[in-house]
């Protein structure tokens, strides 16, 4: 049956038209009509091959799904907003950790080479879950294509598909920041500090994230190597396997930990991202649901071992 539908979709005009319409209807139902809890638990069951018990979640990924549904505050929305979070960072740890902001607008027509400085920068939207336009040389950018891409991004809301409530009410805008580059001309390592109930528990470091040699190693707060992988190529998505090669302990590790715990204090679980540029720390973003709780931690036993360390807050609602 599945092969027959693929044939009709790819090889016949009528089949392609009818199946495309059905896909759109199904997508609309899933994103806008199907109850949140049912939507998430069904995806979880498909990904992990078992049901989730939201009454007694045990693994870290199960607890992230629980947090998606029941831990929602205005501060989550502020901190998920890549523009709005700047005020929280300035108030909590100081503006010297912020990546220099070069421009902000809600109008894609403002994104022109004349409005931007002539040094490396990154253009992105404040409500996007990832991505951006890297500009090293303004003369080598297709600005019409860039504006077209940004226009599509501004229209997209990530809540219906992810059910990550914090994205639902962000007022979209375009921000332009200085592109962080180290003294060797490379994009700096990306350190992701996972905090459980206000304490650093695990740190991942992404190396070569814009290359084919991208890998992600996991460490504890003492920079000892951890034996697990989260979101590896053995799961789904792009390759983020650990490497046999170790990553040197950053000189800013102690500072990174102290700052992460200050920023994470109001939250049950949050990932605080940092860039270390030749010994200078820059804040990246706050992420409340690493990979949406839908990517495995391998070996599987570590998912439960890590989950035991997260103490969930009192459930706020049960109407999803």
Query: Do the domain assignments include residue 21?
Result: no
Q: What is the pLDDT of residue 319?
A: 45
Q: Is the pTM above the cut of 0.85? A: yes
Q: What is the pLDDT of residue 27?
A: 62
- DSSP codes joined into one string, 66-113: HHHHH---HHHHHHHSTTTHHHHHHHHT-GGGSPPEEEEES-GGG-SG
Give the domain range for residue 116.
Answer: 99-180
Query: Do the domain assignments include residue 157?
Result: yes
Query: Do the domain assignments include residue 63?
Result: no
Query: Do the domain assignments include residue 135?
Result: yes
Within 13 Å and on the Cβ side, how many CA atoms surround 30? 13
Find the radius of gyration of the CA atoms of the chain: 21
Query: Do the domain assignments include residue 300?
Result: no
Query: Do the domain assignments include residue 266?
Result: no
Q: What is the pLDDT of residue 225?
A: 95
pLDDT in tens, 118-156: 999 999 999 987 678 999 999 999 999 999 999 999 999
Query: Do the domain assignments include residue 210?
Result: no
- Output helix, strand, coil percentages for the chain, rounded to the nearest 5: 40, 20, 40
Q: In what order do the strands lie in the sheet with 190-196?
A: 215-219, 199-207, 190-196, 269-277, 280-287
* Residue ranges for the chain with pLDDT beneath 70: 1-11, 14-30, 130, 208-213, 232-240, 315-320
Q: What is the pLDDT of residue 95?
A: 97
Total tally of structural domains belonging to the chain: 1
Angle among Cα 226, 227, 230 to the nearest 5 degrees reads: 85
Query: Do the domain assignments include residue 140?
Result: yes
Angle among Cα 305, 308, 312 to the nearest 5 degrees reads: 145
């Amino acid at each position: 049956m599945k092969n027959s539908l693929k044939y009709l979709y790819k090889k016949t005009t009528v089949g392609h038209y009818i199946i495309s319409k059905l896909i759109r209807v199904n997508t609309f139902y899933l994103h806008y009509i199907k109850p949140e809890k049912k939507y998430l638990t069904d995806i979880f069951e498909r990904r992990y091959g078992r049901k989730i018990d939201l009454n007694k979640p045990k693994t870290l990924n199960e607890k992230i799904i629980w947090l998606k549904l029941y831990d929602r505050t205005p501060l989550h929305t502020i901190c998920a907003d890549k523009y709005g979070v700047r005020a929280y960072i300035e108030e909590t740890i100081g503006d010297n950790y912020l990546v220099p902001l070069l421009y902000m607008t809600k109008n894609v027509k403002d994104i022109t080479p004349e409005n931007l400085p002539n040094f490396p920068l990154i253009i992105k939207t404040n409500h996007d879950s990832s991505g951006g336009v890297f500009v090293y040389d303004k003369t080598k950018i297709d600005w019409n294509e860039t504006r077209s891409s940004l226009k599509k991004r501004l229209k997209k809301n990530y809540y219906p598909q992810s059910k990550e409530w914090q994205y639902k009410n962000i007022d979209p805008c375009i921000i332009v920041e200085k592109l962080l580059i180290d003294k060797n001309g490379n994009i700096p390592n990306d350190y992701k500090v996972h905090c459980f109930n206000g304490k650093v528990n695990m740190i991942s470091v992404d190396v070569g994230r814009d290359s084919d040699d991208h890998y992600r190693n996991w460490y504890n707060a003492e920079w000892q190597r951890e034996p697990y992988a989260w979101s590896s190529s053995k799961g789904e998505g792009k390759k983020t396997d650990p490497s046999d090669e170790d990553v040197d302990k950053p000189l800013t590790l102690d500072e990174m930990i102290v700052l992460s715990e200050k920023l994470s204090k109001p939250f049950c679980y949050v990932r605080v991202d940092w860039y270390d540029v030749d010994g200078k720390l820059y804040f990246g973003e706050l992420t409340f649901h690493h990979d949406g709780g839908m990517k495995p931690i391998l070996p599987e036993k570590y998912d439960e071992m890590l989950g035991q360390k997260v103490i969930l807050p009192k459930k706020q609602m049960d109407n999803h």
